[in-house]
Amino acid sequence: MSFQGKEFTKEMKQLVVNLKEFYDIERRQKKLQSPWATEQTAKGLGVGEATVRRIMAEYNKNKKTIPDVPVKARGKPEYVVPQGVLPIVREYIRSQNLKGLHVSVDLVRNYLAQSNLNYNFSKITLWRALKRWGFTHGTGKRRSALKERDYVILARRRYLRHKRLNRNVDGAFIRPEVYLDETYINKNHTNQFTWYFGEDGPYVNKPSGKGERLIIVNAISYEGWVEQARLVFKAKRKTGDYHGQMDWNNFSRWFTDQLLPNIPENSIIIMDNASYHNVIEENVFPKANASKEKLRRWLDDNEIPWSEDLLKPELYKLCKLFEPTPEYKIDKIAEAAGRTILRTPQYHPELQPIEMCWGIMKNYMAMHCDFTLNSLRNNLPIAFDQISPQICQKLIAKAIDKEKKYWIEDEELDDTNSEIDVD
């Protein structure tokens, strides 16, 4: 018998009380091997000792009566920490660090439990997730010393400045904003934990390995999923990263054929820095080992004066002064179609609301997995339907709130750090 993970009804609580009182009598008569009646009761019913204590305290407080209010039994959480929780955790830890406050696993756990998604993870499970995501538990530094790498700060500031320029005085979008991203899901994507009676051991009919993989590409706007933009295809080989299955040819074809025709002409398209997003236009700029003649020809083609007495290193140095900024292929395609590309800064998935969409979808898929590819394909459209236009609007609003926080925090940190004397 095990009540672990269940809500205790009045009858179930009565059973706890009866068993606990029985063991109390056994203990007083020295018939109980263990001196702890609570421990024996918990073992007998397959629940935590804290649950037994809580029910008994409730029973004694109510003058030996049991109220009808159900009690949730404590036990191992049903789910592991999904990747979609990372942006929430990162934002919380960063905000607490900025305030100079101590952050513990318990504080993170309580914060997640009180969130709108009502996440409930065990302490050890959450700790493992934090370590897996690269968080460090240490003594910390003074608030004034809290900083990020310059290139990250500059990229974030540049991104935020572009976003702010696309807002009216009342905060409304001047140009439509479209968020695109890619993800994957495996055939055997399911919850990793199940309840089982200790003596029986677990039995889950789950195949070994992750199974076949589907690659997913899509985009959202304030109106919800972009119509006709969904692309789903089966991966040809198994890798640890869907980026190994997605390349420039696949991405540019989808971008041109499915995305651009289905979004407004003046849209701002927001995406991350995946390698196939950042393929550079062929650069005709001469290399350092180019011949003297090629260097001179490039200078002539660009109407840059030079003299005959310049040596090859001098010619190359002169060329470098006028080297054009590299251009991304996808940016040129978007520009030709009347759209603009904007890239989120590295390490900021919380600024991509579509990342949260993937999390909601994958939770649904995990709950409806039967380890077959047909089921995976059939459930996927239903998983997409879990993301309504209203949810997209809420997720975009959350991302905008984060943008505002970053803008203020960066200015505050800049003012604080500027007061530090650097030797």
- Per domain, the residue ranges of the chain are 7-72, 83-140, 154-281+327-418, 292-321
pTM, two decimal places: 0.62
Rounded to whole angstroms, how far apart are CA atoms 385 and 400? Answer: 24
Select from 326, 327, 181, 166 the least CA-distant residue to 255: 181
The predicted-structure confidence for 382-415, as pLDDT tens digits, reads as follows: 999 999 999 999 999 999 999 999 999 888 877 7
Longest dimension (CA), the chain: 110
CA 267 to chain centre: 25
Rounded to whole angstroms, how far apart are CA atoms 185 and 274? Answer: 18
Extract the tokens encoding 300. Answer: 């002539």
Quick check: helix, strand or coil at residue 299? Answer: helix
Alpha-carbon Rg for the chain, nearest whole angstrom, is 29
Q: Find the angle CA(178)-CA(180)-CA(181) to the nearest 5 degrees.
A: 160
Select from 94, 176, 181, 182 the least CA-distant residue to 133: 94
Rounded to whole angstroms, how far apart are CA atoms 185 and 180? Answer: 17
Strand ranges in 93-163 using DSSP code E only, listed in sequence order: none
Select from 165, 185, 181 the least CA-distant residue to 173: 165
**According to the model, what pLDDT value does residue 140 have?**
56
In the chain, which stretches have pLDDT less than 70? 1-8, 30-35, 63, 66-80, 84, 116-118, 139-148, 191-209, 237-244, 416-423
The predicted-structure confidence for 118-127, as pLDDT tens digits, reads as follows: 677 888 888 8
The predicted-structure confidence for 181-208, as pLDDT tens digits, reads as follows: 999 998 877 766 555 555 555 555 666 6
Hey, how many other C-beta atoms are within 10 angstroms of the C-beta on 393?
A: 16
Token pair 């309504």 in the structure block, residue: 388
Extract the tokens encoding 123. Answer: 């302490």
Cβ contact 334:261 at 8 Å = no
**According to the model, what pLDDT value does residue 186 have?**
86
Rounded to whole angstroms, how far apart are CA atoms 191 and 364? Answer: 10
Token pair 């007083």 in the structure block, residue: 28
Cβ contact 4:49 at 8 Å = no
- What letter does residue 347 receive in the DSSP assignment? T
Strand ranges in 155-261 using DSSP code E only, listed in sequence order: 177-186, 213-221, 224-225, 231-234
Extract the tokens encoding 282. Answer: 């062929």
Extract the tokens encoding 414. Answer: 């800049």
**According to the model, what pLDDT value does residue 146 have?**
44
Rounded to whole angstroms, how far apart are CA atoms 122 and 365? Answer: 23
Rounded to whole angstroms, how far apart are CA atoms 169 and 173? Answer: 10
Quick check: helix, strand or coil at residue 197? Answer: coil
CATH class of 154-281+327-418: alpha beta
Token pair 């007495």 in the structure block, residue: 309
Quick check: helix, strand or coil at residue 296? Answer: helix
Q: Find the angle CA(357)-CA(360)-CA(362) to the nearest 5 degrees.
A: 105
Rounded to whole angstroms, how far apart are CA atoms 393 and 391? Answer: 5
**According to the model, what pLDDT value does residue 36 have?**
73
Hey, how many other C-beta atoms are within 10 angstroms of the C-beta on 18?
A: 11
Token pair 């905000």 in the structure block, residue: 95
Q: Find the angle CA(184)-CA(186)-CA(190) to the nearest 5 degrees.
A: 115
Token pair 């935020």 in the structure block, residue: 160
Quick check: helix, strand or coil at residue 171? Answer: coil
